[in-house]
Structure 1
Amino acid sequence: MTRLAGRSALVVGGGSGIGRAAALAYLGAGARVTVVERSAELAAALRKETDDRVTAVVGDGTTPDVLAAGVASAGGGGGLDHLTCCVGVFDHYASLRQLDTAQLLAAAEETWRLNVLSALLAAHAAWPALRDTGGSITLTLSESAFRPVGGGVLYGSSKWALRGVVQHLAADFAPAVRVNGVAPGGTTDTRFSGLDALGQSARSVADSVGRAERIAAGTLLGTAPTPADHAAAFLHLADPVAARVVTGQVLLVDGGRTPS
Protein backbone atom coordinates (compact mmCIF):
# COMPACT_ATOMS: atom_id res chain seq x y z
CA MET A 1 0.00 0.00 0.00
CA THR A 2 1.27 3.46 -0.88
CA ARG A 3 -1.64 5.67 0.11
CA LEU A 4 0.72 7.85 2.21
CA ALA A 5 3.62 7.76 -0.25
CA GLY A 6 5.76 10.88 -0.09
CA ARG A 7 4.09 12.09 3.11
CA SER A 8 5.54 12.55 6.59
CA ALA A 9 3.92 11.41 9.83
CA LEU A 10 4.90 12.15 13.42
CA VAL A 11 3.64 9.82 16.16
CA VAL A 12 4.06 11.13 19.70
CA GLY A 13 4.19 8.15 22.02
CA GLY A 14 4.95 5.84 19.10
CA GLY A 15 7.29 3.34 20.72
CA SER A 16 4.74 0.88 22.05
CA GLY A 17 1.11 -0.19 22.01
CA ILE A 18 -1.39 1.60 19.80
CA GLY A 19 1.06 4.37 18.92
CA ARG A 20 3.57 1.83 17.64
CA ALA A 21 0.86 0.06 15.62
CA ALA A 22 -0.14 3.36 14.02
CA ALA A 23 3.46 4.21 13.21
CA LEU A 24 3.97 0.82 11.52
CA ALA A 25 0.74 1.26 9.56
CA TYR A 26 1.88 4.66 8.28
CA LEU A 27 5.25 3.20 7.36
CA GLY A 28 3.60 0.33 5.51
CA ALA A 29 1.49 2.84 3.58
CA GLY A 30 4.60 4.58 2.30
CA ALA A 31 5.01 7.46 4.76
CA ARG A 32 8.21 8.77 6.27
CA VAL A 33 7.64 8.13 9.96
CA THR A 34 9.11 9.82 13.02
CA VAL A 35 8.20 8.85 16.56
CA VAL A 36 8.70 10.64 19.85
CA GLU A 37 9.32 8.04 22.55
CA ARG A 38 10.56 8.54 26.10
CA SER A 39 12.03 5.03 26.35
CA ALA A 40 15.38 4.76 24.58
CA GLU A 41 15.00 0.97 24.68
CA LEU A 42 11.62 1.00 22.91
CA ALA A 43 12.85 3.55 20.38
CA ALA A 44 15.88 1.40 19.58
CA ALA A 45 13.70 -1.69 19.21
CA LEU A 46 11.41 0.08 16.75
CA ARG A 47 14.33 1.34 14.69
CA LYS A 48 15.83 -2.16 14.60
CA GLU A 49 12.53 -3.78 13.61
CA THR A 50 12.09 -1.35 10.72
CA ASP A 51 15.74 -1.37 9.57
CA ASP A 52 16.05 2.27 10.66
CA ARG A 53 13.22 3.35 8.37
CA VAL A 54 11.56 4.94 11.41
CA THR A 55 13.27 7.98 12.90
CA ALA A 56 13.05 8.21 16.69
CA VAL A 57 13.37 11.28 18.88
CA VAL A 58 13.95 10.08 22.43
CA GLY A 59 12.39 12.26 25.10
CA ASP A 60 9.29 13.16 27.07
CA GLY A 61 6.45 13.79 24.63
CA THR A 62 4.76 16.16 27.09
CA THR A 63 7.53 18.78 26.95
CA PRO A 64 7.63 21.60 24.38
CA ASP A 65 11.34 21.23 23.55
CA VAL A 66 11.03 17.53 22.75
CA LEU A 67 7.87 18.10 20.71
CA ALA A 68 9.59 20.88 18.76
CA ALA A 69 12.46 18.51 18.04
CA GLY A 70 10.01 15.86 16.84
CA VAL A 71 8.26 18.30 14.52
CA ALA A 72 11.58 19.54 13.14
CA SER A 73 12.83 16.00 12.55
CA ALA A 74 9.60 14.85 10.90
CA GLY A 75 9.36 17.93 8.71
CA GLY A 76 12.98 17.97 7.63
CA GLY A 77 12.42 15.88 4.52
CA GLY A 78 9.87 18.16 2.89
CA GLY A 79 7.25 19.11 5.44
CA LEU A 80 5.02 17.48 8.04
CA ASP A 81 1.72 16.05 6.80
CA HIS A 82 0.27 14.26 9.81
CA LEU A 83 0.47 14.21 13.62
CA THR A 84 -0.78 11.37 15.80
CA CYS A 85 -0.85 11.78 19.60
CA CYS A 86 -0.76 8.63 21.73
CA VAL A 87 0.68 9.79 25.07
CA GLY A 88 -1.46 8.75 28.02
CA VAL A 89 -1.70 7.41 31.54
CA PHE A 90 -4.26 5.08 33.11
CA ASP A 91 -5.92 5.48 36.52
CA HIS A 92 -6.52 1.75 37.13
CA TYR A 93 -10.15 2.48 38.02
CA ALA A 94 -9.27 4.76 40.94
CA SER A 95 -12.35 5.87 42.86
CA LEU A 96 -12.80 9.31 44.39
CA ARG A 97 -14.28 7.53 47.40
CA GLN A 98 -10.86 6.07 48.15
CA LEU A 99 -8.65 9.12 47.53
CA ASP A 100 -7.76 11.79 50.04
CA THR A 101 -7.66 15.41 48.93
CA ALA A 102 -3.89 15.49 48.34
CA GLN A 103 -4.04 12.34 46.21
CA LEU A 104 -6.94 13.69 44.17
CA LEU A 105 -5.18 16.97 43.45
CA ALA A 106 -1.95 15.27 42.40
CA ALA A 107 -3.62 12.53 40.37
CA ALA A 108 -5.95 14.94 38.57
CA GLU A 109 -3.07 17.22 37.63
CA GLU A 110 -1.02 14.29 36.33
CA THR A 111 -3.93 12.86 34.37
CA TRP A 112 -4.74 16.20 32.76
CA ARG A 113 -1.10 16.88 31.86
CA LEU A 114 -0.47 13.50 30.26
CA ASN A 115 -3.85 12.78 28.66
CA VAL A 116 -5.01 16.22 27.56
CA LEU A 117 -2.33 18.91 27.78
CA SER A 118 0.18 16.68 25.97
CA ALA A 119 -2.13 16.59 22.93
CA LEU A 120 -2.64 20.35 23.01
CA LEU A 121 1.11 20.94 23.24
CA ALA A 122 1.77 18.58 20.34
CA ALA A 123 -0.89 20.24 18.18
CA HIS A 124 0.49 23.67 19.08
CA ALA A 125 4.01 22.62 18.11
CA ALA A 126 2.90 21.04 14.84
CA TRP A 127 0.40 23.70 13.70
CA PRO A 128 2.74 25.84 11.55
CA ALA A 129 4.14 22.82 9.70
CA LEU A 130 0.74 21.20 9.23
CA ARG A 131 -0.79 24.48 8.07
CA ASP A 132 1.82 24.73 5.35
CA THR A 133 1.08 21.24 4.01
CA GLY A 134 -2.70 21.17 4.61
CA GLY A 135 -2.12 18.26 6.95
CA SER A 136 -4.07 16.46 9.63
CA ILE A 137 -4.07 15.43 13.30
CA THR A 138 -5.38 12.30 14.98
CA LEU A 139 -5.77 12.16 18.75
CA THR A 140 -6.10 8.92 20.72
CA LEU A 141 -9.15 8.75 22.96
CA SER A 142 -10.87 5.72 24.50
CA GLU A 143 -14.28 4.13 24.73
CA SER A 144 -14.23 5.84 28.15
CA ALA A 145 -14.91 9.06 26.24
CA PHE A 146 -18.42 7.76 25.50
CA ARG A 147 -19.49 5.83 28.61
CA PRO A 148 -18.27 5.02 32.14
CA VAL A 149 -16.29 1.89 31.28
CA GLY A 150 -12.62 1.12 30.73
CA GLY A 151 -11.29 3.31 33.52
CA GLY A 152 -12.11 5.43 36.52
CA VAL A 153 -13.44 8.96 36.70
CA LEU A 154 -10.01 10.58 36.28
CA TYR A 155 -9.11 8.67 33.14
CA GLY A 156 -12.63 8.76 31.72
CA SER A 157 -13.12 12.48 32.21
CA SER A 158 -9.78 13.21 30.56
CA LYS A 159 -10.87 11.24 27.50
CA TRP A 160 -14.21 13.09 27.46
CA ALA A 161 -12.14 16.28 27.47
CA LEU A 162 -10.26 15.03 24.40
CA ARG A 163 -13.59 14.63 22.59
CA GLY A 164 -14.05 18.33 23.12
CA VAL A 165 -10.50 19.02 21.98
CA VAL A 166 -11.17 17.17 18.71
CA GLN A 167 -14.24 19.23 17.89
CA HIS A 168 -12.93 22.60 19.06
CA LEU A 169 -9.50 22.11 17.51
CA ALA A 170 -11.09 21.04 14.23
CA ALA A 171 -12.90 24.39 14.19
CA ASP A 172 -9.83 26.31 15.34
CA PHE A 173 -7.51 24.79 12.72
CA ALA A 174 -10.04 24.81 9.85
CA PRO A 175 -9.84 24.93 6.93
CA ALA A 176 -6.11 24.28 6.78
CA VAL A 177 -5.80 21.21 9.03
CA ARG A 178 -8.17 18.30 9.66
CA VAL A 179 -8.47 17.12 13.29
CA ASN A 180 -10.01 13.77 14.28
CA GLY A 181 -9.73 11.07 16.91
CA VAL A 182 -9.72 7.31 17.36
CA ALA A 183 -11.37 5.85 20.47
CA PRO A 184 -10.17 2.27 21.03
CA GLY A 185 -11.98 -0.10 23.33
CA GLY A 186 -10.16 -2.43 25.69
CA THR A 187 -6.97 -3.60 24.01
CA THR A 188 -4.60 -6.46 24.75
CA ASP A 189 -0.83 -6.62 24.23
CA THR A 190 -0.30 -2.99 25.17
CA ARG A 191 1.66 -1.32 27.94
CA PHE A 192 -0.18 1.53 29.64
CA SER A 193 1.40 2.96 32.79
CA GLY A 194 -0.49 4.02 35.88
CA LEU A 195 -0.39 7.28 37.79
CA ASP A 196 2.79 8.18 39.66
CA ALA A 197 0.66 10.22 42.06
CA LEU A 198 -1.14 7.05 43.17
CA GLY A 199 1.91 4.81 43.21
CA GLN A 200 0.79 2.97 40.08
CA SER A 201 3.78 3.67 37.85
CA ALA A 202 5.07 0.10 38.03
CA ARG A 203 1.71 -1.31 36.92
CA SER A 204 0.35 -1.74 33.41
CA VAL A 205 -3.03 -2.75 32.08
CA ALA A 206 -1.23 -5.67 30.41
CA ASP A 207 -0.46 -7.10 33.88
CA SER A 208 -4.12 -7.72 34.70
CA VAL A 209 -4.89 -11.45 34.86
CA GLY A 210 -7.77 -12.54 32.60
CA ARG A 211 -8.05 -9.12 30.97
CA ALA A 212 -8.36 -10.43 27.40
CA GLU A 213 -11.23 -12.70 28.39
CA ARG A 214 -13.06 -9.86 30.17
CA ILE A 215 -12.65 -7.57 27.16
CA ALA A 216 -13.93 -10.20 24.73
CA ALA A 217 -16.92 -10.99 26.94
CA GLY A 218 -17.96 -7.33 26.91
CA THR A 219 -18.06 -6.90 23.13
CA LEU A 220 -20.65 -7.83 20.54
CA LEU A 221 -17.95 -9.40 18.36
CA GLY A 222 -16.61 -11.46 21.25
CA THR A 223 -13.05 -10.36 20.57
CA ALA A 224 -10.22 -8.69 22.44
CA PRO A 225 -8.56 -6.23 20.04
CA THR A 226 -4.80 -5.85 19.73
CA PRO A 227 -3.09 -2.54 18.88
CA ALA A 228 -2.82 -3.64 15.25
CA ASP A 229 -6.61 -3.95 15.08
CA HIS A 230 -6.91 -0.20 15.61
CA ALA A 231 -4.24 0.78 13.08
CA ALA A 232 -6.61 0.89 10.11
CA ALA A 233 -8.70 3.61 11.77
CA PHE A 234 -5.60 5.76 12.25
CA LEU A 235 -4.49 5.08 8.69
CA HIS A 236 -7.90 6.06 7.29
CA LEU A 237 -7.89 9.40 9.10
CA ALA A 238 -4.32 10.16 7.99
CA ASP A 239 -5.18 9.44 4.36
CA PRO A 240 -5.63 12.81 2.61
CA VAL A 241 -7.82 11.24 -0.09
CA ALA A 242 -10.00 8.74 1.80
CA ALA A 243 -10.61 11.18 4.68
CA ARG A 244 -10.44 14.43 2.70
CA VAL A 245 -13.75 15.72 4.07
CA VAL A 246 -13.53 14.14 7.53
CA THR A 247 -12.80 16.49 10.44
CA GLY A 248 -14.07 16.92 13.98
CA GLN A 249 -14.93 13.21 14.15
CA VAL A 250 -14.05 10.36 16.52
CA LEU A 251 -13.99 6.75 15.29
CA LEU A 252 -15.07 4.39 18.06
CA VAL A 253 -13.34 1.05 17.55
CA ASP A 254 -14.38 -1.15 20.47
CA GLY A 255 -15.72 -4.37 18.94
CA GLY A 256 -19.24 -3.28 19.79
CA ARG A 257 -19.88 -2.80 23.50
CA THR A 258 -22.32 -5.35 24.86
CA PRO A 259 -25.46 -3.55 26.12
CA SER A 260 -25.55 -3.61 29.91
Structure 2
Amino acid sequence: MSGRMEGMNVLVVGGGAGIGKGAALAYLDEGASVTVLERSPRHAEALTEETRGRSLRVVVGDATAEPVLTEALEQAVDSAGKLDHLTCCVGVFDHYASLRELTVKELVDAAEEMWRVNVLSTLVAVRTAWPALHEAGGSVTLTLSESAFHPVGGGVLYGSSKWALRGVVQHLAADLAPGVRVNGVAPGGTTDTAFSGLAALGESESSVGTVSGRDQRIAAGTMLRVTPTPADHAGAYVYLADPRASRVVTGLVINSDGGRALR
Protein backbone atom coordinates (compact mmCIF):
# COMPACT_ATOMS: atom_id res chain seq x y z
CA MET A 1 0.00 0.00 0.00
CA SER A 2 1.29 3.44 -0.93
CA GLY A 3 2.32 5.82 1.83
CA ARG A 4 0.82 9.26 2.32
CA MET A 5 4.00 10.90 0.90
CA GLU A 6 4.35 8.65 -2.15
CA GLY A 7 6.03 10.49 -5.04
CA MET A 8 7.18 13.44 -2.91
CA ASN A 9 10.74 14.81 -2.97
CA VAL A 10 11.97 15.83 0.47
CA LEU A 11 15.16 17.49 1.70
CA VAL A 12 16.09 17.16 5.38
CA VAL A 13 18.84 19.53 6.45
CA GLY A 14 20.58 18.11 9.51
CA GLY A 15 18.95 14.70 9.21
CA GLY A 16 21.79 12.33 10.03
CA ALA A 17 21.01 11.73 13.69
CA GLY A 18 18.53 12.43 16.46
CA ILE A 19 15.22 14.14 15.70
CA GLY A 20 16.22 14.99 12.12
CA LYS A 21 16.98 11.35 11.41
CA GLY A 22 13.67 10.33 12.97
CA ALA A 23 11.82 12.67 10.61
CA ALA A 24 13.83 11.53 7.57
CA LEU A 25 13.11 7.85 8.25
CA ALA A 26 9.41 8.59 8.78
CA TYR A 27 9.23 10.40 5.42
CA LEU A 28 10.96 7.43 3.82
CA ASP A 29 8.50 5.00 5.40
CA GLU A 30 5.63 7.08 4.00
CA GLY A 31 6.96 6.68 0.46
CA ALA A 32 8.92 9.90 -0.08
CA SER A 33 12.22 10.16 -1.91
CA VAL A 34 14.47 11.67 0.78
CA THR A 35 17.75 13.56 0.58
CA VAL A 36 19.59 14.23 3.84
CA LEU A 37 22.27 16.86 4.32
CA GLU A 38 24.50 15.90 7.25
CA ARG A 39 27.74 17.45 8.51
CA SER A 40 29.06 14.41 10.40
CA PRO A 41 30.68 11.80 8.13
CA ARG A 42 30.11 9.22 10.87
CA HIS A 43 26.38 9.87 11.08
CA ALA A 44 26.12 10.08 7.29
CA GLU A 45 27.82 6.71 6.85
CA ALA A 46 25.60 5.06 9.48
CA LEU A 47 22.41 6.43 7.90
CA THR A 48 23.53 5.36 4.42
CA GLU A 49 24.19 1.83 5.63
CA GLU A 50 20.89 1.68 7.56
CA THR A 51 18.83 2.71 4.51
CA ARG A 52 20.78 0.94 1.80
CA GLY A 53 18.53 -0.07 -1.09
CA ARG A 54 15.86 2.50 -0.25
CA SER A 55 15.07 5.94 -1.72
CA LEU A 56 17.34 7.93 0.56
CA ARG A 57 20.59 9.65 -0.36
CA VAL A 58 22.99 11.50 1.92
CA VAL A 59 25.05 14.59 1.10
CA VAL A 60 27.91 15.26 3.53
CA GLY A 61 28.68 18.88 4.25
CA ASP A 62 28.09 22.00 6.32
CA ALA A 63 24.49 23.18 6.04
CA THR A 64 25.52 26.77 6.81
CA ALA A 65 27.40 26.92 3.46
CA GLU A 66 25.28 27.94 0.47
CA PRO A 67 27.23 25.81 -2.09
CA VAL A 68 26.63 22.72 0.04
CA LEU A 69 22.92 23.54 0.33
CA THR A 70 22.75 24.01 -3.43
CA GLU A 71 24.38 20.62 -4.01
CA ALA A 72 21.91 18.93 -1.65
CA LEU A 73 18.99 20.69 -3.33
CA GLU A 74 20.15 19.52 -6.76
CA GLN A 75 20.13 15.95 -5.42
CA ALA A 76 16.65 16.38 -3.95
CA VAL A 77 14.64 17.98 -6.77
CA ASP A 78 12.95 16.03 -9.53
CA SER A 79 13.52 16.47 -13.27
CA ALA A 80 11.10 19.41 -13.28
CA GLY A 81 13.04 21.19 -10.56
CA LYS A 82 10.36 20.65 -7.92
CA LEU A 83 10.87 20.10 -4.19
CA ASP A 84 7.79 19.09 -2.23
CA HIS A 85 9.11 19.61 1.27
CA LEU A 86 12.06 20.99 3.25
CA THR A 87 12.71 20.11 6.88
CA CYS A 88 15.36 22.05 8.82
CA CYS A 89 16.92 20.37 11.87
CA VAL A 90 20.38 21.97 12.02
CA GLY A 91 21.37 23.31 15.43
CA VAL A 92 24.07 23.71 18.04
CA PHE A 93 23.60 23.54 21.80
CA ASP A 94 24.95 25.86 24.50
CA HIS A 95 25.40 23.27 27.28
CA TYR A 96 23.20 25.43 29.56
CA ALA A 97 25.77 28.26 29.50
CA SER A 98 24.95 31.05 31.96
CA LEU A 99 25.36 34.70 31.02
CA ARG A 100 27.00 35.24 34.42
CA GLU A 101 29.81 32.84 33.65
CA LEU A 102 30.82 34.11 30.20
CA THR A 103 33.25 36.88 29.40
CA VAL A 104 31.91 39.53 27.05
CA LYS A 105 34.09 38.16 24.23
CA GLU A 106 32.87 34.61 24.84
CA LEU A 107 29.30 35.88 24.87
CA VAL A 108 29.64 37.75 21.59
CA ASP A 109 31.46 34.90 19.83
CA ALA A 110 29.04 32.26 21.12
CA ALA A 111 25.96 34.35 20.28
CA GLU A 112 27.17 34.99 16.74
CA GLU A 113 27.79 31.28 16.22
CA MET A 114 24.42 30.34 17.73
CA TRP A 115 22.55 32.82 15.52
CA ARG A 116 24.45 31.78 12.40
CA VAL A 117 23.84 28.07 12.85
CA ASN A 118 20.42 27.89 14.52
CA VAL A 119 18.66 30.78 12.79
CA LEU A 120 20.53 32.19 9.80
CA SER A 121 21.30 28.77 8.31
CA THR A 122 17.57 28.03 8.38
CA LEU A 123 16.80 31.24 6.51
CA VAL A 124 19.50 30.48 3.95
CA ALA A 125 18.18 26.93 3.47
CA VAL A 126 14.65 28.18 2.90
CA ARG A 127 15.84 30.91 0.52
CA THR A 128 17.93 28.41 -1.45
CA ALA A 129 15.05 25.95 -1.73
CA TRP A 130 12.26 28.50 -2.26
CA PRO A 131 12.14 28.44 -6.10
CA ALA A 132 11.85 24.64 -6.13
CA LEU A 133 9.32 24.68 -3.28
CA HIS A 134 7.26 27.36 -5.01
CA GLU A 135 7.26 25.38 -8.25
CA ALA A 136 5.84 22.37 -6.40
CA GLY A 137 3.47 24.27 -4.09
CA GLY A 138 5.48 22.69 -1.29
CA SER A 139 6.04 23.22 2.40
CA VAL A 140 8.68 23.84 5.06
CA THR A 141 8.96 22.49 8.60
CA LEU A 142 11.38 24.11 11.04
CA THR A 143 12.63 22.48 14.23
CA LEU A 144 12.21 24.55 17.37
CA SER A 145 12.34 23.29 20.97
CA GLU A 146 10.46 23.49 24.22
CA SER A 147 13.08 26.19 24.90
CA ALA A 148 11.14 28.38 22.46
CA PHE A 149 8.30 28.51 25.00
CA HIS A 150 9.84 28.00 28.46
CA PRO A 151 13.25 28.64 30.11
CA VAL A 152 14.15 24.94 30.06
CA GLY A 153 16.22 22.62 27.91
CA GLY A 154 19.19 24.94 27.45
CA GLY A 155 20.72 28.27 28.36
CA VAL A 156 19.85 31.78 27.25
CA LEU A 157 21.79 31.48 23.96
CA TYR A 158 20.09 28.29 22.83
CA GLY A 159 16.70 29.35 24.14
CA SER A 160 16.75 32.76 22.49
CA SER A 161 17.70 31.21 19.13
CA LYS A 162 14.69 28.93 19.35
CA TRP A 163 12.44 31.83 20.35
CA ALA A 164 13.71 33.56 17.20
CA LEU A 165 12.63 30.57 15.13
CA ARG A 166 9.09 30.95 16.49
CA GLY A 167 9.04 34.34 14.81
CA VAL A 168 10.64 32.93 11.68
CA VAL A 169 7.80 30.40 11.32
CA GLN A 170 5.11 33.07 11.38
CA HIS A 171 6.96 35.65 9.30
CA LEU A 172 7.92 33.11 6.64
CA ALA A 173 4.38 31.73 6.61
CA ALA A 174 3.22 35.23 5.67
CA ASP A 175 6.14 35.94 3.32
CA LEU A 176 5.88 32.71 1.31
CA ALA A 177 2.08 32.47 1.18
CA PRO A 178 0.07 31.46 -0.70
CA GLY A 179 2.44 29.18 -2.59
CA VAL A 180 4.45 27.59 0.25
CA ARG A 181 3.28 26.54 3.72
CA VAL A 182 5.65 27.06 6.69
CA ASN A 183 5.24 25.35 10.07
CA GLY A 184 7.34 24.10 12.96
CA VAL A 185 7.72 21.31 15.50
CA ALA A 186 8.87 22.10 19.04
CA PRO A 187 10.13 18.85 20.60
CA GLY A 188 10.63 18.49 24.31
CA GLY A 189 13.63 16.80 25.90
CA THR A 190 14.39 13.67 23.91
CA THR A 191 16.40 10.54 24.47
CA ASP A 192 19.02 9.45 21.93
CA THR A 193 19.67 13.00 20.75
CA ALA A 194 22.86 14.23 19.10
CA PHE A 195 23.86 17.85 19.70
CA SER A 196 26.86 19.76 18.43
CA GLY A 197 28.34 22.18 20.95
CA LEU A 198 29.46 25.76 20.43
CA ALA A 199 32.94 25.90 18.94
CA ALA A 200 33.26 29.41 20.40
CA LEU A 201 33.14 27.86 23.87
CA GLY A 202 35.42 24.95 23.00
CA GLU A 203 32.58 22.42 22.95
CA SER A 204 32.16 19.39 20.73
CA GLU A 205 29.28 16.96 20.47
CA SER A 206 27.07 17.22 23.54
CA SER A 207 26.85 14.34 25.99
CA VAL A 208 23.59 15.52 27.61
CA GLY A 209 21.86 12.38 26.37
CA THR A 210 24.07 10.20 28.57
CA VAL A 211 23.76 12.25 31.78
CA SER A 212 22.62 9.99 34.63
CA GLY A 213 18.95 10.41 35.49
CA ARG A 214 18.22 12.76 32.56
CA ASP A 215 15.46 10.65 31.02
CA GLN A 216 13.73 10.33 34.39
CA ARG A 217 13.89 14.10 34.99
CA ILE A 218 12.43 14.79 31.55
CA ALA A 219 9.55 12.37 32.13
CA ALA A 220 8.82 13.87 35.55
CA GLY A 221 8.47 17.32 33.98
CA THR A 222 5.73 16.30 31.52
CA MET A 223 2.01 15.64 31.92
CA LEU A 224 2.34 12.28 30.18
CA ARG A 225 5.36 11.16 32.27
CA VAL A 226 7.28 10.08 29.18
CA THR A 227 10.69 10.80 27.69
CA PRO A 228 10.21 11.09 23.92
CA THR A 229 12.37 9.34 21.37
CA PRO A 230 13.09 10.85 17.93
CA ALA A 231 10.43 8.55 16.47
CA ASP A 232 7.83 10.04 18.83
CA HIS A 233 8.19 13.43 17.13
CA ALA A 234 8.14 12.02 13.61
CA GLY A 235 4.35 11.92 13.33
CA ALA A 236 4.16 15.69 13.73
CA TYR A 237 6.69 16.15 10.93
CA VAL A 238 4.83 13.76 8.63
CA TYR A 239 1.51 15.50 9.28
CA LEU A 240 2.92 18.94 8.47
CA ALA A 241 4.63 17.65 5.31
CA ASP A 242 1.51 15.87 4.06
CA PRO A 243 -0.06 18.20 1.45
CA ARG A 244 -3.50 16.66 1.95
CA ALA A 245 -3.75 16.30 5.71
CA SER A 246 -2.32 19.77 6.41
CA ARG A 247 -3.43 21.58 3.26
CA VAL A 248 -4.83 24.54 5.22
CA VAL A 249 -2.17 24.58 7.96
CA THR A 250 0.53 27.27 7.95
CA GLY A 251 2.20 29.38 10.63
CA LEU A 252 1.62 26.60 13.19
CA VAL A 253 4.05 25.13 15.73
CA ILE A 254 3.24 21.68 17.13
CA ASN A 255 4.54 21.17 20.68
CA SER A 256 5.57 17.52 20.95
CA ASP A 257 6.73 17.88 24.55
CA GLY A 258 4.51 15.51 26.51
CA GLY A 259 2.52 18.39 27.97
CA ARG A 260 5.43 20.41 29.38
CA ALA A 261 3.41 23.66 29.15
CA LEU A 262 0.78 22.25 31.53
CA ARG A 263 3.33 21.38 34.21
In 2, Cα distance between the equivalents of 1:202 and 1:25?
25
Alpha-carbon shift at residue 93 of structure 1 (Å): 1.0
**Residue 258 and residue 10 in structure 1: after superposition, are their counterparts in 2 closer, same or farther (change >3 A)?**
closer
1:221-240 alignment to 2 at 5 Å? Answer: 221-240=224-243
Once the two structures are superposed, what CA deviation does each residue of 1:122-153 show, in whole Å capped at 9, x if it has no partner? 00110000000000000000011111111111
Corresponding residue for 1:28? 29
1:83-94 alignment to 2 at 5 Å? Answer: 83-94=86-97
Alpha-carbon shift at residue 256 of structure 1 (Å): 0.7
In 2, Cα distance between the equivalents of 1:258 and 1:23?
27
Q: In structure 2, the residue corresponding to 1:162 is in which secondary structure?
A: helix
1:141-220 alignment to 2 at 5 Å? Answer: 141-220=144-223
Q: In structure 1, the residue corresponding to 2:22 is in which secondary structure?
A: helix
Unaligned 5+ runs, structure 1: none
Larger deviation, residues 93-102 vs 76-85: 76-85
Q: Which amino acid aligns with 2:36?
A: V
In 1, Cα distance between the equivalents of 2:117 and 2:152?
20
In 2, Cα distance between the equivalents of 1:163 and 1:221?
24
Alpha-carbon shift at residue 194 of structure 1 (Å): 1.6
Once the two structures are superposed, what CA deviation does each residue of 1:157-192 show, in whole Å capped at 9, x if it has no partner? 000000000000011100000000000000011111
**Residue 253 and residue 202 in structure 1: after superposition, are their counterparts in 2 closer, same or farther (change >3 A)?**
closer
Number of positions where the alignment pairs a residue of Structure 1 with one of Structure 2: 260
Kept in 1: contact 2:195–2:205 (CA 8 A)? no
1:1-260 alignment to 2 at 5 Å? Answer: 2-53=3-54, 54-78=56-80, 79-257=82-260
Q: Which amino acid aligns with 2:9?
A: S
Q: In structure 1, the residue corresponding to 2:63 is in which secondary structure?
A: coil
Q: In structure 2, the residue corresponding to 1:34 is in which secondary structure?
A: strand
Unaligned 5+ runs, structure 2: none
Kept in 2: contact 1:144–1:151 (CA 8 A)? yes
Once the two structures are superposed, what CA deviation does each residue of 1:31-77 show, in whole Å capped at 9, x if it has no partner? 00000011222112112111242111110011101111111110045
- The percentage of aligned residue pairs carrying the same residue is 66
In 1, Cα distance between the equivalents of 2:53 and 2:149?
38
Q: In structure 2, the residue corresponding to 1:57 is in which secondary structure?
A: strand
In 2, Cα distance between the equivalents of 1:77 and 1:226?
35
Q: Which amino acid aligns with 1:55?
A: R
Once the two structures are superposed, what CA deviation does each residue of 1:53-110 show, in whole Å capped at 9, x if it has no partner? 2111110011101111111110045521000000001111111011110100011011
Alpha-carbon shift at residue 259 of structure 1 (Å): 5.0
Q: In structure 2, the residue corresponding to 1:33 is in which secondary structure?
A: strand
Kept in 1: contact 2:93–2:206 (CA 8 A)? no
Q: In structure 2, the residue corresponding to 1:180 is in which secondary structure?
A: strand
Kept in 1: contact 2:194–2:205 (CA 8 A)? no
Q: Which amino acid aligns with 2:18?
A: G
